[in-house]
Amino acid sequence: MTKEITPFQEMMEAFLKASANFKTPKLNMAVKYTKKSGQVVDFKYADLGEMYSSIKGALLNEGFVITHEMDVCIDGGHSMYTYLQYKNGERFGRCSVPIDFKANTMQDVGSQITYMKRYSLASICAVVAEEDDDASSVQDKPFNAPKKGSKFITPKQVSDMKELCTGSMAGIGKKLMDKQNITKWEDLKADRYIGIYTWLKNVKEKNGEKK
């Protein structure tokens, strides 16, 4: 007797198929910024249009629509929500980010929204849409970042990945490793960790809600 799959499982299977056909975004934009050391460097990234081009077709083919919504928070602030709406009514990867409507001009607000859309999609879909700047503009410790120059994730990050990929998540973890062309988490590239870890965590939390 074939076990009936849940709507959530149906959606996850579709997302895995879509993600296998994601294209790597081209880093088609560049800006200059100054590090704390005073060094001026070029930072390359994929703009929102390039992000859409790399993932939208694969998502649509499997029944997903990229959705962005604005909402007013209880404290009077504003947030933008990004998620993937699936054809069976399920939603995946809801990402909430604050938007400052007190910015100087509407162009500033628009720039924030575009920026947050790009980062939200990269996080939900676990795609690399920018150069790795070795976390020079943020503190390493909260993110458990690998040492500068490290190619693979740290032992602590390996442990975190294994903990996420237990029980009902084991199959999803295996498919993700196959997609990365690895057989163990120790071989996961350091620059892929944040996106994949965030994606898996969102999936596990969503799966837990369905139990």
* pLDDT score, position 208: 62
pTM of the model: 0.63
Note the pLDDT tens digit of each residue in 46-68: 999 999 999 999 999 999 999 99
The Cα–Cα gap between 112 and 142 comes to 24
Note the pLDDT tens digit of each residue in 123-175: 899 888 887 654 444 433 334 444 445 588 889 889 999 998 888 788 888 88
The Cα–Cα gap between 124 and 195 comes to 7
| Amino acid, single-letter form, for residue 4 | E
* pLDDT score, position 104: 66
Q: Is residue 189 predicted with pLDDT exceeding 50?
A: yes
* pLDDT score, position 135: 45
Q: In the structure encoding, which two tokens stand for residue 184, read together?
A: 């163990």
pLDDT band at 21 (very low <50, low <70, confident <90, very high): very high
| Nearest in space to 59 (alpha carbons), one of 18, 118, 119, 90 | 18
Which letter does DSSP use for residue 181 in this model?
T
Note the pLDDT tens digit of each residue in 70-115: 887 666 678 889 999 999 999 988 888 888 877 667 888 888 889 8
Tell the burial category of 39 from Cβ atoms under 10 Å away from its Cβ (0-12, 13-18, 19+): exposed
Mean pLDDT across 168-194: 83
Note the pLDDT tens digit of each residue in 22-32: 998 999 998 88
* DSSP assignment of 99-156: E-TTSSSHHHHHHHHHHHHHHHHHHHHT---B---TTTTS-SGGGTPPPTT--B--HH
Q: In the structure encoding, which two tokens stand for residue 182, read together?
A: 């690895």
Domain boundaries, the chain: 1-131, 133-211
